[in-house]
Structure formats: structure tokens, C-alpha cells
Amino acid sequence: MFDTALTTADFIFLAKGAGMTIVVTAISVLIGTVLGVIFGVLRYQLGPIWAAPLIFVLDICRSIPLLIQLVLTNAFLGTILRLNLSGFTVACIVLSMYTAAYCAEIVRGGIEAVPATTRRAARSLGMTWGQDMREIVLPLATRIALPSWIGLALGVMKDSALVYVVQVTELLKSTQILITRLQEPMLLLLICGAFYFVISFPLARFGGYLEKRWSND
């Protein structure tokens, strides 16, 4: 008979950690996607020279490991700027910029993949730049960029495990706490992995559904 010291209260503790993972991921992906779309359009429209400052900032966010970004941002905001921000707020700020940096490249690539002839045809019909982007470019670019965006969102969800360094008790940190107390690493890691699967599976399936639906249009 399987014997474990894991209680209902411990399972609820893990569920709360999973809830924190979902909240941090949802906020970061939402804000990061909005910023990423803005940055991606600017990156495309301004070109490599005028967009150089923006490219430099985005490259920093993509190049420096997320763990270091979390530690340095927390120290900078708290020690230098004297801002009394919670670890949750710092985690969302860093993950949002991290998401935006990658999303900007996804958006830029999606826009560049739209055939130039399609854009010229839209402009020849009298569409303004805004109408062209809203009615033609962004819908087509969304279809192209969706698989990469789904992968990014899933990656951010898994990378959110690093926010423990700013004192945010998410799913993996909750698991580590229980492992230290109960000394049942295999069982707890299996449960942790199951939680991650339950969180990520619907998003992956939804992305697959949209891809299949759009491919049949």
C-alpha cells in the first residue's frame, strides 16, 4: 500500500503555488504581448538605424539570463530607486519585458512574412497605413506568428519558476518547501509536473485548434 506524509493541506499549498504561477504568467504574457506588438511594429517601421535604441534594449532583455535580470532589477528598484515594490510586482515587470523582447521579434517576423504585393494592393485601393495594418497585415501576421507566440507563452510559464529569487512562492518553490519538510522528492516532483501539465496543456491545444481552423479558411 502506498504510504505518504502528504496531507490535504499540503496539496492545497501546492495548488496555491500553481495559482501564483498562473497569475504571474497571465499578467506577464498579457502585458508583454501588448508591448511586444507595439515594439515589433516600431521595429519594422523604423528600420534598423532609427530603431537601434529599441533594438539594444530588447537585445539586453533577450541576452541576459532571466535569473540575473530578476536579481538585478530587484536590487536596482529597491536599493537605488528606493521603491518599496513587492516581489510579485518585480517578477511581473521583469517577465513582462522578457516576454515583450521575444514577442517583438515574433511580431516583426510575422509582418515581414506578409507579401509586399498584398500590402501594395491594399494601398492602391486607398487604404491608409493604419487601415492596411489593421485590416491586412496584422491578421495575416497573427496567423504566421501564433505558433511561436504559443511557444513563448509556455516558455514564460516554465521560466516563472525563477521568480522565487524575489520571494514569490510559485509552484516549484512550494514543491521545494514541501520536499524539505516531507523528504518525498519523487512524489512531490511528480505532482508538480502534473500541475505544470494541467496548466500548459489547454494553451497548447487551443493554439493547435486555431492553427487547424485558420488553415482550413
- Give buried/exposed letters for 69-94 (b at 16+ CB in 10 A, else e): bbbebbeebeeeeeeebebbbbbbbb
28 within 8 A of 155, measured Cβ to Cβ = no
Decide if 143 contacts 214 (C-beta within 8 A).
Answer: yes
pLDDT along the chain (217 residues), means of 10: 77 93 96 95 87 92 94 91 90 96 94 83 80 84 88 93 93 93 90 93 84 70
- What pTM value is reported for the model? 0.90
Query: Domain ranges in the chain?
Result: 8-105+140-215
Written as nine digits, the cell of 157 is 510559464
- CATH superfamily membership of 8-105+140-215: MetI-like (1.10.3720.10)
Q: Whose CA is closest to 172, among 156, 153, 152, 196?
A: 196
CA–CA distance, 210 with 13 (Å, rounded to integer): 34
Write down the H helix ranges in 51-184: 52-63, 66-75, 87-113, 116-124, 129-131, 138-159, 171-182
What is the pLDDT, as a whole number, of residue 198? 93
